[in-house]
Amino acid sequence: MSNTPLFDPAEFRLPLGVVHVCAGGETACLIRHDDAMLRYLRDKSRGMPGRVAQEAQIRRTREAIARLWGVSVDEIGFVSNVAEGVSIVAESLDWRDGDNIRIDPIEYPSMVGPFALRGIEVNTGAINARTRIVSVSAVSYRSGERADLASLREQADAVGALLVVDFTQASGYMPIEASVADFAFSASYKFMLGITGVATAFWNRTRQPHWLARSGGGHSWALNGQSYDPMPAVKPDAMSFMRGNPAHASVYVLAEALDYLAGFDPLAVQAHVQGLTTALMDRLAALQIPVMTPRDPARHGASVCVASPRAQAIVDELYALGIYAWNGQGRIRFSFHGYNAMADVDRIAEAMQRLW
């Protein structure tokens, strides 16, 4: 199991002999992204026909994400990053004194800051009658643990709260059921194999048919000519999240990445990746190296996290040995994707035995 890579490493910018296990931070780029970027540069230089080509790439990418997430195309839009999308949701609500958002104590800042900086109470305890939003990452960036989204959905519904989900640490290697959320977002530059500059925005129009964004720009308004009398309406679908032009180059790259991922069964990618995570946890346990991540594959994602006060030093030493891991928040994170295999687990375990 997982003895050979699922993805052909030759299709990625992977230096020969390197173990690349920092997908939770940045994945290696596909070679085909070179052509995507060049195609964007050519289209950008072609005047109006080039803009038509760029709009076609937006449609192509929306359709691919909708298939990946199991939702309709009109529910998919774009933002520049997850924090922007969450901010648009935060701006759309009429907040009252005493309202709160419920988060996990180690939630990623993009899911907290847009609310906290507005002075909204942040609740790390139980969901209560004043909870307006449950803000959660499907998989924790810090520990690699998966959230129980079905349970959170039930708890949010019980008090009339919205469930806002960040799929950044999940989308690209496991099946996504975005419809569990009222709103959901995902960065592109991790497991979805894209780059920074554009992120996915999902608006569940079945659960929230009357929602409206309260900030906008040239792309989010349904302009009919250049008249503000009467004021134009906001676009009636998830493209209302896109206040200005998207980062078209990033969209071109993401379209190619999604085409690549579409060539693999998401369940097969998940099984491959989690075969590697559980194998690494077994090896680390044998070395008496404690991990933060739950061993049960039903409770974790693609990452294995190890807490250490020497995290940065160990990550630097691993890098010198040709193992690209990730540091941050005082933990070493090993994040697998389809281009990894059991030989990578072996090298990590051997290196950690020496460095721990």
- pLDDT given at position 217: 81
- What is the rounded CA–CA span in Å between residue 297 and residue 65? 25
Domains, in order of start, for the chain: 9-29+265-355 (3.90.1150.10), 33-261 (3.40.640.10)
Look up residue 9 and give its DSSP letter: G
Does pLDDT of 43 surpass 80? yes
Nearest to 234 by CA among 261, 256, 213, 251: 213
SS3 call for 122? strand
Single-letter residue type at 355:
L
Instruction: Tally Cβ neighbours within 10 Å of residue 127.
Output: 18
Range with the poorest average pLDDT among 189-203, 208-222, 270-284, 295-309: 208-222
- What is the rounded CA–CA span in Å between residue 246 and residue 242? 7
pLDDT in tens, 160-172: 999 999 999 999 9
Instruction: Tally Cβ neighbours within 10 Å of residue 122.
Output: 15
Does this model's pTM top 0.85? My answer is yes
Single-letter residue type at 179:
S
Residue 329 binned pLDDT confidence (cut-offs 50, 70, 90): confident
Spell out a b/e string for 82-98, using b for 16 or more CB atoms within 10 Å of the CB, else e: bbbbbbbbbeebebeee
- pLDDT given at position 236: 87
- What is the rounded CA–CA span in Å between residue 21 and residue 339? 9
- pLDDT given at position 222: 77
Q: Residue 32 corresponds to which tokens in the numbers above?
A: 């085909």
pLDDT in tens, 245-265: 999 999 999 999 999 999 999
* Residue 43 CB contacts under 8 Å (≥ 6 apart), including other chains: 50, 51, 53, 54
- pLDDT given at position 338: 98
- What is the rounded CA–CA span in Å between residue 174 and residue 273? 9
DSSP string, 57-95: HHHHHHHHHHHHHTS-GGGEEEESSHHHHHHHHHHTS--
Does pLDDT of 216 surpass 90? no
C-alpha R_g of the chain: 21
pLDDT in tens, 67-122: 999 999 999 999 999 999 999 999 999 999 999 999 999 999 999 999 999 999 99
